[in-house]
Structure 1
Amino acid sequence: MCGRYAASANVGELIEEFDVEEDRTGEPTRTLLVSSQDPPAGTPDHNMAPTKQAPVVLTRPARGGSEVSADPTRQLRLLTWGLVPSWSKDTSGATRMINARAESVATKPAFAKAVASRRALVPAEGWYEWQVSPTAVDAKGKPRKQPFFIHRADGDLLAMGGIYEFWRDPNVAEPDDPAAWLVSFAVVTHAAEEGLDRIHDRQPLVLEKADWERWLDPDLTSTAAIGDLLAPGPAGRFAAYPIGRAVGSNRANGPGLLLPASRADLVGVVDPMTGEIIGGPDA
């Protein structure tokens, strides 16, 4: 997975779709961004990129004033994309940990504790991937890359399986200071299914609604309890189509990024469903 997705739903839609009991997106949180996030965190973002804050669904004990309830609630929070393990000396590794491979997430030191008890759902309209052309090159003589948008074929929002972690900044004295804690997440990925593997060899783990509660349950702390959810789901759930190249810029945004590219603009692009090469001398 290349590290971009469309988080186009607003907070109200996410609360309804994911049966959220506690909306905590309005709370002050620590960010890794130097400049203000654009679009603002918690609003629809059609080009979600690493180190941005994104809406994430998780289950944790609820808070009520100074009291903390023992009963967990389903919450919507803004978390930073790019996981920083609790034992990290600093946050510099966040951009290298945007994804966690399903095959090794339970054994990698950076991810093992998080997948055991800190699992989350990452809502998205779909994700972006770049296909490397087998026939066409760019102006620098390198293989041409064509962006695709991949989404659920039934049009529903998808829920990517994620894991999250808390990192405490030792330089901030007060633990109640929002700047003292960074809460970050990674998206779990697995081998791409047939068809999508013509675009990229990896894809995010997408969980079906019937599995959301079990994935979010913090009391299920053994790999055996959720191991089957780490396996690829049934093939055929997704559709993919080539889009314009504007998505390659972090500054580009808006629903226009999802518009299909004109067939006339495609050069050396492999149709993911048929394997046909579109555009160029070998088309």
Structure 2
Amino acid sequence: MCGRFNLNTTPEEVADHFGIIGLEDFPARLNIAPTQPILVIVEGERQEPGSNLPNRQAMLVRWGFLPGWVKNPKEFPLLINARSETAIGKASFRAAMRHRRVLIPATGFYEWRRPTKEEGGKAQAFHIKPKRGGIVAFAGLMETWSSADGSEVDTGAILTTSANRSIGRIHDRMPVVIAPEDFSRWLDCKTQEPRAVKDLMKAADEDFFEMIPVSDKVNKVANTGADILEPVAETLAPASKPVAKDDGQMSLF
């Protein structure tokens, strides 16, 4: 699962990495959470005459996928991830896998190691980012959902796969990462059917990511400052006794 990630970079760096012209300004975001807007890269409708650049565009979608056939979003589960192993045949994602594959820029994501029953204590948060730094492209799907009154909402999900061995020590799933040399093939939904890009939906190499223990500040959506990235000593200290208090913040964990 990928339930939080970050995009801590500039529009210029994103534009350069994905071959986009005229990307609008946006702020760095260190704690992106479900239902919030996320940046996605899509294949454009047409190529500019005489241009050798990729015809890609950036847009914002809501993180939380809604298939077009859903009648009432309130009665449908929040789909922030899609399992790459089953997305091709699953009713919720079948059409998007064929027609609306996207790339989701990120500079890292967060995962939690849950303690065993013997260990006790609370979960340890990790910031997982490329060892060499820079931007990564998560494989994603998007769908435009239309309500009965004609309004539309663009929505998206991150594709996940079985974790590689290093990340597997804290969680069994990880986002699918698409390499720059495969951007065009992944985004090309006109000539590349889902089965033709199935080989791209795999775990990143063992040495691609590094995992840095961070504090539980990242658990709260309201915490968006640079302090949530500060490394801490990895620990599975006993959990504190719950406080009977409602701070008005929904928790996903």
TM-score per shorter chain, which class?
0.7 to 0.9
Q: How much has 1:100 moved relative to structure 2? A: 0.3
Once residues 13 and 20 of structure 1 are traced to their aligned partners in structure 2, the CA distance between those partners, rounded to angstroms, is 10
Deviations 1:102-121 (A, max 9, x none): 10010001101101121111
Deviations 1:198-246 (A, max 9, x none): 1111000011111111111121342222111113343221110110110
* Sequence identity percentage: 30
Aligned partner of residue 73 in structure 2, secondary structure = coil
Q: Within the alignment, does 1:14 sit opposite 2:1 as a pair?
A: no
Unpaired segments ≥5 residues, structure 1: 27-41, 65-71, 139-143, 173-179, 270-283
Match of 1:171 among 142, 149, 153: 149
Deviations 1:86-145 (A, max 9, x none): 11113336762100001001000110110112111111110000101234334xxxxx20
Match of 1:162 among 137, 140, 148: 140
Please name the residue that 2:56 is paired with: 74
RMSD: 2.3
Aligned partner of residue 55 in structure 1, secondary structure = strand
Alpha carbons of 1:238 and 1:250: their partners in 2 closer, same or farther (altered >3 Å)? same
Once residues 94 and 125 of structure 1 are traced to their aligned partners in structure 2, the CA distance between those partners, rounded to angstroms, is 30
Aligned partner of residue 61 in structure 1, secondary structure = coil
Q: What TM-score, normalized by structure 2, do the two folds share?
A: 0.84
Q: Within the alignment, does 1:57 sit opposite 2:41 as a pair?
A: yes
Aligned partner of residue 70 in structure 2, secondary structure = coil
Match of 2:211 among 240, 244, 248: 240
Once residues 267 and 231 of structure 1 are traced to their aligned partners in structure 2, the CA distance between those partners, rounded to angstroms, is 30
Aligned partner of residue 58 in structure 1, secondary structure = strand
Alpha carbons of 1:93 and 1:84: their partners in 2 closer, same or farther (altered >3 Å)? farther
Q: How much has 1:197 moved relative to structure 2? A: 0.7
Matched residue pairs, number? 232
Once residues 93 and 78 of structure 1 are traced to their aligned partners in structure 2, the CA distance between those partners, rounded to angstroms, is 24
Once residues 54 and 207 of structure 1 are traced to their aligned partners in structure 2, the CA distance between those partners, rounded to angstroms, is 17
AA matched with 2:8? S
Match of 1:136 among 97, 104, 119: 119
Once residues 134 and 84 of structure 2 are traced to their aligned partners in structure 1, the CA distance between those partners, rounded to angstroms, is 23
Aligned partner of residue 14 in structure 2, secondary structure = helix
Please name the residue that 1:258 is paired with: 229
Unpaired segments ≥5 residues, structure 2: 49-53, 239-253
Q: Is the 8 A contact 1:83 1:164 kept in 2?
A: yes
Once residues 216 and 94 of structure 1 are traced to their aligned partners in structure 2, the CA distance between those partners, rounded to angstroms, is 27
Please name the residue that 2:247 is paired with: none
Q: Is the 8 A contact 1:121 1:216 kept in 2?
A: yes
* Counterparts of residues 217-228 of structure 1 (less than 5 Å): 217-228=188-199
* Counterparts of residues 1-283 of structure 1 (less than 5 Å): 1-21=1-21, 23=23, 42-61=26-45, 73-92=55-74, 96-134=78-116, 135-138=118-121, 144-172=122-150, 180-262=151-233, 266-267=235-236
Runs of 4 or more, structure 1, over 4 Å off, are none
Q: What TM-score, normalized by structure 1, do the two folds share?
A: 0.76
Higher strand share: 1
Q: Is the 8 A contact 2:70 2:76 kept in 1?
A: no
